[in-house]
Amino acid sequence: MKFRETQEVNAGSMADIAFLLLIFFLVSTTMEADLGLGTLLPPYQDEIDTKTPPKNDRNVFEVLVNADNQLMVEKKLMKLEQLTDATKQFIVNPTNDPNLSANEIKDITFFGPIAVSKGIISLQTANDTKYQVYLMVQNEIVRAFNELRNDLAKSKFGKDYQKLNTKEKEAVRQVYPKLISEAEPVRLASK
C-alpha cells in the first residue's frame, strides 16, 4: 500500500486573518468606564498663605480607613451605615456640644443671621484600602451634605435643593459649606 504525502497547509494567510480579527475586536469592544469622583479641586496657587489660622481640633471630623478597610471616626470604630448620620450631627451640632464643630452666626441672603458650621471633614485612607471602600466612604460623607442642604431647601423654600435657582443654591451652600480635606494615603497599621 502506498502512502500519500500530505500536503502542507499554507499558514501565511492565517496570520493576516488573526491580525484582522484582533483589530476588529479592539475596535468594536466597549470598555467599562472607570469609577471616579466628580470633585472640583481648588485652583493652583503659587504662593502659600503663611497667615493660615491655627487648626482647631474641635472643628475637624477625622475619618480614617485602615488597610483592613475598617472605618474609624474620631478614633472609634464605626459602621459605614452610621457615617452619614454622624457627619450630619457633627456639621449641625444642634446642642452646641463642645466635642462637635463650632458654629458662627453669619448674615446670609434669604436666611438672615444663621448658624454656620466651621466643621471640616478630614478623610484619610491607608495605602492598602480598597478603592471601592474609599468610594463608599466618600459617598456617605457627600450624602450627609446633600441631605442637610436638601432639608434646608425644603424648610426654607418648599422645594428640593436641585430645583432651587442659582442664588438660592448659593445661599444654602453658604449655610452648609462642603469642606472635605483628603490627605495622601498613608501606611496605617492593621490588626
Predicted confidence (pLDDT) per residue in 6-19, tens digit: 777 777 788 888 99
Residue 43 lies in a domain: no
Residue 6 lies in a domain: no
Distances (CA, A) of 124 to 28, 35, 92, 180: 40, 19, 22, 11
Q: Pick left, alpha or beta for residue 64 (phi over 0 → left; psi -120 to 50 → alpha; otherwise beta).
A: beta
Mean pLDDT taken over the chain: 84
79: cell is: 459602621
Residue 36 lies in a domain: no
Per-residue pLDDT tens over the stretch 110-131: 889 998 888 899 999 988 889 8
Residue 24 lies in a domain: no
Per-residue pLDDT tens over the stretch 20-66: 999 998 888 887 766 666 666 667 666 665 565 555 677 889 999 98
Give me the mean pLDDT over the 162-169 stretch. 92
185 Cβ contact list (under 8 Å, min separation 6): 124, 125, 126, 127, 129
Residue 14 lies in a domain: no
Q: Contact 65/126 with Cβ under 8 angstroms? A: yes
pLDDT, residue 140, reads 94
User: Based on the structure, what is the number of domains in the chain?
Assistant: 1
Burial environment of residue 63 by CB neighbours within 10 A (0 to 12, 13 to 18, 19 or more): buried
Is this structure's pTM higher than 0.85? no
pLDDT, residue 41, reads 62
Percent composition of the chain: helix, strand, coil (DSSP 3-state, to 5): 40, 20, 45
Residue 112 lies in a domain: yes
Q: Which domain holds residue 163?
A: 69-182
Predicted confidence band at 170 (pLDDT cuts at 50, 70, 90)?
very high
Residue 4 lies in a domain: no
Paired with 171 in beta bridges are none
Residue 49 lies in a domain: no
pLDDT, residue 49, reads 59
